[in-house]
Amino acid sequence: MKFFIDTANLKEIDEARSLGMLDGVTTNPSLMSKESVSNQKEIQKHYISICERLKNNENLSAEVINTNYIDMIQEGEKLALLHPRIVVKIPMTKNGIKAIKYFSNKKIKTNCTLIFSIGQAILAAKAGAYYVSPFLGRLDDLSYNGLNLIQEIKNVYENYHFDTKILAASIRHPLHIIECSKIGVHAITSPISVIYSLFYHPLTDIGLEKFIKDFQKKIR
Ligand code: G3P
């Protein structure tokens, strides 16, 4: 399972890299707005800085802001030209699906975002999305079971041999990552804090403390 980091923050991306847990990056307009980028030039520079931190098959999902078809296409094409590692992130709307089809015909990778239902996931796959991003945590927040949706998407994609990859998004806690791994998603995208919380187990801390104490008692 690939670990993408859901951030536009360069320090967090570097942290994930040094941890050995970086397979890609996803951003969205809210995450970009937290960084010090205030115009198109700075936004482009920021995306390039992220891409320069990536290697091998890693990529960056960069989201379009426009919502009408023509503007979405133009913005997506600019993003795709900015750096070969950029995957154009497009919202699940009628125009978005048309844009995904357009980019898929041009062999430009897309990530269909804001997926909250199996019907939406089917449309995205039929349009040729490279990734779908079902939002786990936001469904859980409304008392719907986000993991059920992920499992359903997995089943339907297998039924029809869709190539679209599941990139589980809106991850809120370590169990989301663990359960996604059991379902067998291609990737999760998570804040680095949730990846850190996978490390913790009290018995590991207690065990390590005891090993060190025992060793120091005998060997001085
Ligand atoms: O990037 C999309 C998604 O991961 C957003 O997560 O926590 O804002 O629901 P969140």
What CATH number did the domain enclosing 138 receive?
Answer: 3.20.20.70
User: pTM of the prediction?
Assistant: 0.95
What is the reported pLDDT for 160? 97
Q: What is the 3-state secondary structure (H, E, C) of 32-80?
A: HHCCCCCCHHHHHHHHHHHHHCCCCCCEEEEECCCCCHHHHHHHHHHHH
Tell me the one-letter amino acid at 29: P
What is the reported pLDDT for 218? 85
Instruction: Name the active-site residue from 11, 55, 89, 154.
Output: 89
pLDDT of the chain, 220 residues: tens digit per residue: 999 999 999 999 999 999 999 999 999 999 999 998 989 999 999 999 999 999 999 999 999 999 999 999 999 999 999 999 999 999 999 999 999 999 999 999 999 999 999 999 999 999 999 999 999 999 999 999 999 999 999 999 999 999 999 999 999 999 999 999 999 999 999 999 999 999 999 999 999 999 999 999 988 6
CA distance 96 to 88: 11
Instruction: Identify the domain containing residue 123 by its residue range.
Output: 2-219
What is the reported pLDDT for 44? 96
Task: Output the six-digit token pair for 164.
Answer: 């679209």
Ligand 1 — pocket residues by CB below 6 A? 6, 26, 28, 135, 137-138, 169-170, 189
What is the reported pLDDT for 38? 84
Question: Best substitution site from 5, 25, 138, 150 to test ligand 1's pocket, by max atoms within 8 Å of Cβ?
Answer: 138
Tally the domains of the chain.
1
- 89 catalytic per annotation: yes
